[in-house]
Structure 1
Amino acid sequence: MSAGAAPTTWRPQAPRRRALSPDGPVDPARPATAHQITTPAAIPGGIR
């Protein structure tokens, strides 16, 4: 049973992580702009 639950739990987490990878940890209050995506260091919350 656990074997079947593993892939099911892993699938929904994979796309979510990929979406945050290119943009980095983008805050919901601040929209993700092309400049922020290119420079994740510009986001103070992105470094932490």
Structure 2
Amino acid sequence: LTAGASAPELLVRELVDRLSTRFDVSEREEETTRETIAFKLPRGLEAAA
């Protein structure tokens, strides 16, 4: 079970927490690829940030 763009970490965390109330759950965190890409905000949003 992994988090990603279509399944944010918060939702995965909540699911694991709920599953752990009914099942024996073990967790392991692995980093397979370091994300280094950063995107600039659109011009209209830069001033608001």
Shared fold (TM-score, shorter chain, > 0.5): no
**Which structure has more helix as a fraction of its residues?**
1
TM-score normalised by L of structure 1: 0.32
TM-score normalised by L of structure 2: 0.31
Larger Rg: 2
